[in-house]
Structure 1
Amino acid sequence: MTERISHHGSCRCGLISADIDAEPVWQSYCHCRDCRKQTGAPVMAFVGFPLASLSWFGEPNRWRGAGGVTRMFCGHCGSQIGYTDERLKGEIYLALGFMEEPEAYPPHSHAFVERQLPFLHIADDLPRFEGFSVERPTMTTGKDG
């Protein structure tokens, strides 16, 4: 018998939730300005999944930002949910704070380390990328967050 893979996430008020039935495709910190502005935090941590593996309960609000990124949030409580990137077809990246068990998704890398705030020290030996930690096909704008 095959064990069912199951991951769950929800916003603070519970109006938006999701079930995911696939293993993560990526886990990372992001130090870019866009992620800091969107979350209000000095760094964002996220976990990526195949988009087709996700089932929504409730409909997140969406805001289309620069560079083909669409951010999602709860219109009631304001919780950050995650984002999709048109250059990463078929994937969704969820904020660790949205996940029911965020400790189950430790980041495997750091993105945009040249933008890391000088007072923020995360002592680990994870790979560090000057730009994106997830490779994107040809960039059209040159902007990265």
Structure 2
Amino acid sequence: MTKGFTDHPAFRGGCQCGAVRYAVAAGPAKDSVCHCRMCQRATGNAFAPLVEVKADRVRWEGTPREWASSTVAWRGFCATCGTPLYYRSGDSIELMAGTLAPGTGFAPVSNTSVESRVDWLPSLTGPGHETSPALIAKVQSFQAPEEG
């Protein structure tokens, strides 16, 4: 098995609106975090948490749109709601961990492109705060139900 890859059970995921879903067959996968500027901009975040698998193990329900962010990388997303779904290069696809169905394990084994890591990231070790029950009570979500 390639370095960092472990056997994963089958898993599912998809976008916010439910127009694009995927199912991944059991097999080798690698959980990692990428800090490169392309991933930061593609996700609108400090880093991209990714699950890498061979692209031929992914079965799609709905069709993601793609945009070539470089000469070696294609970014997949839902054309309806805009959810970033993956980064594809060669015969591998790296699915965004935020699109995984609840309960899917994710345990990063590496950080890549650390030269671009944002300098404020280490300061996030402070206390966390849960969402206010009053806010939860008044929010109506338009997101598709999550698969579990």
TM-score, with normalisation over the residues of structure 1?
0.74
Query: Aligned equivalents of 1:115 and 1:103: distance in 2?
Result: 28
Structure 2: segments with no counterpart, 5+ residues: 1-8, 126-148
Q: Which moved more, 1:25-34 or 1:96-105?
A: 96-105
Query: In the alignment, is residue 38 of structure 1 matched against residue 39 of structure 2?
Result: no
Structure 1: segments with no counterpart, 5+ residues: 124-145
Q: How many residues align?
A: 116
The DSSP-based 3-state class of the residue aligned with 1:66 is coil
Tell me by how many angstroms 1:6 deviates. Answer: 2.0
Conservation of the 8 A alpha-carbon contact between 2:11 and 2:104 = no
Query: In the alignment, is residue 47 of structure 1 matched against residue 59 of structure 2?
Result: no
Query: Aligned equivalents of 2:26 and 2:106: distance in 1?
Result: 13
The superposition leaves residues 54-96 of structure 1 with CA deviations (integer Å, 9 ceiling, x where unpaired) of: 110000010012131010000111101001113xxx2211000
Partner amino acid for 2:67? W
Moved beyond 3 Å, runs of 4+: none
Query: In the alignment, is residue 60 of structure 1 matched against residue 64 of structure 2?
Result: yes
Conservation of the 8 A alpha-carbon contact between 1:22 and 1:49 = no
Q: What does residue 114 of structure 1 align with? A: 115
Conservation of the 8 A alpha-carbon contact between 1:20 and 1:53 = yes
The DSSP-based 3-state class of the residue aligned with 2:56 is helix
The DSSP-based 3-state class of the residue aligned with 1:14 is coil
- Residues 1-16 of structure 1 aligned to structure 2 (within 5 Å): 5-16=9-20
Cα-Cα RMSD: 1.6
| Cα 1:102/1:110, change in 2 over 3 Å | farther
Tell me by how many angstroms 1:24 deviates. Answer: 4.1
Pick the structure with greater CA Rg. 2
Query: Aligned equivalents of 1:61 and 1:119: distance in 2?
Result: 32
TM-score, with normalisation over the residues of structure 2?
0.73
Conservation of the 8 A alpha-carbon contact between 1:10 and 1:18 = yes
